[in-house]
Structures are given as C-alpha cells and as structure tokens.
Amino acid sequence: MPAAAYGLATLDPLTLLLTSVVGEGVPDAAVPLLVHNEYAQDDFNKFADLAHRRRPVGRLSAATGGRLERSLRHRTILGPLGWGDELRAVFVGDGLGWGFACLHRGRADPAFSREDEHLLARLTAHVAHGLRTSLLLGGAAEQGASEAGPGLIELTAGLEVAAANDTGLAWLDQLVPAEGAGAGAGAGTLPPAIHAVLARLRVLDADPAAAPPPRLPVRARSGRWLVLHASHLHGPRKEGRTAVIIQPGRPLELAPLIAGAYGLSRRERDICLLVLHGRSTSEISARLHISANTVQEHLKSIFRKAGVTSRRELVGRVFLERSSSLRLEPSDHEPPPG
C-alpha cells in the first residue's frame, strides 16, 4: 500500500494516549502538532472515534466528502507538509485500542481507496492481539533500575528542557525510540509519550472536569514500566513552565493495563482490580451490585485468561512475579479470527 509517509504507534488502552511511535517521512517538528490535534482539537477520524466503530478505519477523503480542507489537521499540518489523503486505523482488541496507524499520500497521489481501507480493517484485530500479547512478554530491565527514584523534567512554554535531575535525564533517554525509528526520534526532541501527557494536561486546563488525568504508563527501551505525570509550575520565573515526573511504575498502578492485556472484559477488569485490592467476594458483590455467584463465575474466567488457579496466584502474578519490569507470562490466547 504505497504511502508518502506513515506513523505506527502504541496506545495506552485505557486512555488512548500514545506511548511510542515509529514511522518514516514524518518530521520531528510535526509530532507535537499532530499530538495536540489528536487530543485537544476537533477534527475528522479521531482515534477515540475510530476505536468505537465496528470497523476502526477511516479515510480522510471519505470523511470530508473529498474536501480535505475541511479538516483542521489537513489545513494546518498535512497540507503544508505536501500531503494529501490520510488513512487511519486503530488496532482494537477486546474492546480496547492498543495502537494505531496513519498513512499519508502525497498531494499529487491518488486518494486511498475503499480496497485500501478494507485491507487495513482486516489486519486491525491481528495487530491488536500482537500488541496486547507483547505487553506480557516484556524484556530485561536494566540492572539497578528498581532502586531508581522519580525523575523530574522542567519544560519551558516552548517545550524545551529547562532543568532536570539526573534520574529524570536517565528516564528521558529510556523513552526515546531506538536510533532510526523515526517519527519523533530525532536528537533533542521530546519523546511522543511526553507530548501526549502534555496534551492531556492542556485538555484539563480547558475543562477541569475532563478525564482521565495527565498520567500515562509507558514502557522504556529496557522493558521497564514507567509512569509519566504532568503538572503546571507556579512561582517566580515559572510562568508557562511544566513539570513532568517520570517514575518507576508500581504494580497496582499498572494492574489495569495488565488486566486489559490478559483480554479481560470490562466487568472482569473491575473484579480483578478489586481482588488485587484485597476485597472479598461479598465486598465485590456489594460494590458492583451483582450476586456472589456471578462474581465467582467472573473469577473463573479471569483465572483461565491469566493462567492461574486462585486469587493468591493472581495477586502473585501481578504484584510479585518479576514485578520490577512486569514481564509476565501470557496465557495461551487464541489469535483473532481471520
């Protein structure tokens, strides 16, 4: 499927904030603009919209009725880059979005066809299955990473690093994609995940009731899980500055993500998290307004999907088993139907 440029990304399935990006032909300077458009501006074929469609795929030419200029993203970013039509897909599995793809045609190239859209749609569930499973496989964490504390990055209004502690710089380096990955991997640029959490902060500025908060679990190159937080700084000479806290992910923080990676349904994820908080069957029953028998049936399904046989094993899998990097062993999920 020919394209002038493309970007492939992983998503936090609970917030749809992007956690990493690879691609080709996407200038580093365009990444923060695209992220801001995605999370803070109204436009066509947003990932949150695509993720809830029966087929989570969309062509910009089709969505705009052939008038690409109707899209703010095209008028301000894609068009000035010399691009024409755009084909997007969210990789959805078990009702959650695990990643996305954006393909761009040149201005003089033909628009993407329905056949292109159908082909990409056929791949989405398979890619989602692979991304979900990869979270449970993991990689080796760096020696000594478990002893590292929170890192602090102070950013100017222009998104330049104004100050940082040593740990912050070390974690920041771990968030930069491998050399040659493209799509935001240029030297001196902020990792896409930081742009995503900053975009969430700007959304909250406009609507304090908006959810979720500017918090994002991200996997470092080493395989270790980190959690990013963003907040505004106040005080003398801090006008317009933002603090990004990067810290090792705690098992309880990452439990919702891991529960999703095991393919648990929404109700099963709710029950699983309550089990991890030490709630009894009767407490779960009262909290969720379901019978104790229903709780037990859900627990059987949870145990099967997680490859355990008891609550103790489930808790041990999330909290104890290789908890420094959360490299958990996946259960034998069947691949999605073709």
Global pTM value: 0.82
pLDDT in tens, 105-123: 999 999 999 999 999 999 9
Domains 5-137 and 145-249 share a fold: yes
Give the pLDDT score at 178.
60
pLDDT at 97: 95
For the stretch 50-69, pLDDT in tens is 999 999 999 999 999 999 99
Q: How far apart are CA 282 and CA 86, in angstroms?
A: 51
pLDDT at residue 325, as a whole number: 41
- Of 67, 63, 70, the closest CA to residue 87 belongs to 63
71-85, 129-143, 172-186 — which is least confidently predicted?
172-186
DSSP line for 214-273: SEEEEE-TTS-EEEEEEEE--STT-TT-EEEEEEEPPHHHHHHHHHHHTT--HHHHHHHH
Cα 223 to chain centroid, rounded: 15
Structural domain boundaries in the chain: 5-137, 145-249, 252-319
DSSP type of residue 281 = H
pLDDT > 60? residue 308: yes
Tell me which architecture the domain covering 5-137 has in CATH: 2-Layer Sandwich (3.30)
Question: Hey, what are 275's tokens?
Answer: 């089990």
pLDDT at 236: 85
The CB density around residue 16, as the number of other CB atoms within 10 Å, is 21
For residue 196, which of 210, 173, 213, 182 has the smallest C-alpha distance?
A: 213
Average pLDDT, the chain: 86
Q: What is the mean pLDDT of residues 167-180?
A: 80
Closest of 304, 301, 300, 297 to residue 331, by C-alpha:
304
Least confident of 134-148, 173-187, 311-325: 134-148
Token pair in block for residue 220 = 């470092």
Top mean-pLDDT range of 75-79, 224-228, 325-329 = 75-79
How large a percentage of the chain has pLDDT more than 90?
A: 59
Task: Pick the most confident of 25-39, 184-198, 199-213.
Answer: 25-39
pLDDT category of residue 144 using cuts at 50, 70 and 90: very low
pLDDT for 337 equals: 45
236-252: per-residue pLDDT in tens?
888 889 999 999 988 78
CB-side exposure of 310: number of CA atoms within 13 Å? Answer: 3
CB burial of 186-225 (b: ≥16 within 10 Å; e: otherwise) equals eeebbbbbbbbbbbbbebbeeeeeeeeebbbbbbbebbbb
Does pLDDT of 140 surpass 50? no
Q: Give the model's pLDDT for residue 179.
A: 57
How would residue 321 be classed by pLDDT, with cut points 50, 70 and 90? very low
More confident residue, 152 or 213: 152
Ranges 11-15, 150-154, 214-218, 314-318: which has the least confidence: 314-318
Chain position carrying tokens 């969430």: 200
Instruction: State yes or no: pLDDT of 175 exceeds 80.
Output: yes
Provide the CATH topology of domain 145-249: Beta-Lactamase (3.30.450)
Highest mean pLDDT (candidates 12-21, 111-120, 326-335):
111-120
252-319: CATH topology: Arc Repressor Mutant, subunit A (1.10.10)
pLDDT greater at residue 334 or residue 286:
286
Rounded to whole angstroms, the Cα distance separating 325 from 338 reads 32
Is residue 331 predicted with pLDDT exceeding 50? no
Angle at 22 between CA 74 and CA 136, to 5 degrees: 125
